[in-house]
Amino acid sequence: MKSLAELAAIRSKMIEQVNMRRDENVNTRVVVGMATCGIAAGARPVMLEFVEEIKKRGLEHVTVGQTGCVGMCRLEPIVEVYVKGQDKVTYVHMTPEKVARIVNDHIVNGRPVEEYTIGAAQA
């Protein structure tokens, strides 16, 4: 079972890193729609997969957040990826299986996955 002592140890380790504050390095935000429509369509496993994949690759410049309903419920789960200095990319009908490719192609290698985007879905 997890203990609070373990947590205190993590804190000590983190304190050192926070002294070299990395906030200014955060240049990519992944935002998952988490309103009723998003959740019902399966947003939670998608969000957890992003967290997992980003942690696995140690991508410290990426944060994962949530947003409400943007009024396109039929396209949920919707994920928006904001890379500093670039246009927002909106991915629709997301599944956990699509996450690894978005992290690899788009976030790491800078090539948005066109076929998962809202543009491809509505074409």
* Contact positions vs other proteins (CB under 8 A): 1-2, 4, 6-8, 10-11, 13-15, 18, 34-37, 39-40, 42, 44-45, 47-48, 51, 54-55, 63-66, 68-71, 73
Our CB check for other proteins shows the closer of 40 and 120 to be 40
Our CB check for other proteins shows the closer of 15 and 123 to be 15
Q: Please, what is the minimum distance in Å from the beta carbon of residue 122 to other proteins?
A: 18
Q: How far is CA 102 from the centre of its chain?
A: 9
Q: What is the Rg, in whole angstroms, of the alpha carbon atoms belonging to the chain?
A: 16
The H or E element containing residue 109 is none
Tell me the C-alpha distance between 49 and 97, whole Å. Answer: 9
